[in-house]
Chains A and B, each alone.
Chain A
Amino acid sequence: MKLERCQDVFALLSQYLDHELPADLCDQIEAHIADCPPCVAFLESLRKTVELCRKLQAGGVPAAARDEHRRALQEAYQRFLREHGGCSDSSNS
């Protein structure tokens, strides 16, 4: 595969950012973008998009809701331990 046009490069940029491309394709992309400002700008905007998505993680979570549900979860967990032999009720062992 030979990357001749910007469109060929654009098509592979996610895999490039994720280090999922074979070395020869990486080299070709790097050779192309070294001399192609539009591809650099596009790559940077894609990189930033991925970065922003990663930072979205775990924000805006309602702590109150989580605490409210914790009791039911604790009960489900204790049931699991009783039925499948965990060691938290160590007083029995």
Chain B
Amino acid sequence: MDPARSDAALVEDLIAGRPGAFEEFVELYWPKLFQYSYLMCGQREDAEEVTQETLLKVFEKLDQLREPERFKAWVFRIARNACYMKRRKSVFAPVQELSLDELMPVTQEDGDQRRLEIADWSSLPEDIALQSELRERLEAAIQSLPEIYRAVLILRDIEGLSTQETAEVLDITEDAVKTRLHRARLAVRSYLDEYLRTAGART
């Protein structure tokens, strides 16, 4: 698989029925959609179903795709709707806002010096795949975010969508994407900071 190949080229091959396009598409999108759905829904079984439903719908509606260069956003929009269906019981849950003030660290003036209470982040391993505890903590941190923030963080930082694509998937403005992303990152940062302090205290 050529990582530099664009989604637009892939979808063109898929529509034309070129050999290998189906396999390439499933290899690429199954893991992406599973990860997204798992972090959104919180259950592996639900994530598996959402992933499969999304891909089936992609093939069902592929003839309606008007702009192949926006394929990724189009697919994630389908996945977003499938997640909403799966989580319909909580659709009426009130929207929770994250307050910027509460997420920002407090600096203290100490004479001429400014100080900040912060864990030692240099102790974090470079490769998260090798550190299952950290991975679990990070997933828990993301899953604990209120939904409107979680959705933005997953699409931008995990799935690598642009600000514009994320706005399109979620039907919000690009400014709203930026605001929510910053709060989501601050909340995850704060969660990990707490974890690193207690982990540091244990060792």
B interface, CB within 8 angstroms of A: 14-19, 22, 26, 30-32, 34-35, 44, 48, 51-52, 55-56, 59-60, 62-63, 100, 104-105, 107, 114-116, 118-119, 121, 124, 127-129, 134-135, 138-139, 142, 153, 157-160, 163, 178, 181-182, 185-186, 188-189, 192-193
Residue of A at shortest CB range from B100?
A: A11
- Residues 5-16 of chain A, each 1 if its beta carbon lies under 8 Å from chain B, else 0: 011001101110
Docked complex: A16-46 residues within 8 A CB-CB of B? 18, 20, 36-38, 41-42, 44-46
What are 10 A-B residue pairs whose CB atoms fall within 8 Å in the complex? A7-B107, A11-B104, A11-B182, A37-B116, A42-B118, A66-B34, A69-B48, A77-B22, A80-B63, A83-B63
**Binding site of B, secondary structure by majority: helix, strand, loop or mixed?**
helix
A to B contact number (C-beta, < 8 Å) = 147
Q: Which residues of B contact A1 (CB under 8 A)?
A: none
Q: Which residues of A contact B105 (CB under 8 A)?
A: 10, 38, 42
**Binding site of A, secondary structure by majority: helix, strand, loop or mixed?**
helix
Q: Which residues of A contact B186 (CB under 8 A)?
A: 46
- Cβ–Cβ contact B26 & A70, under 8 A: yes
**What CA separation (Å) do A84 and B22 show in the bound complex?**
15
Given contacts A11-B104, A57-B35, A61-B30, contact A50 B56 (CB under 8 A): no
Q: Which residues of B contact A72 (CB under 8 A)?
A: 52, 56
Looking at the complex, which one of B30, B31, B163, B192 makes contact with A49 (CB distance below 8 Å)? B192
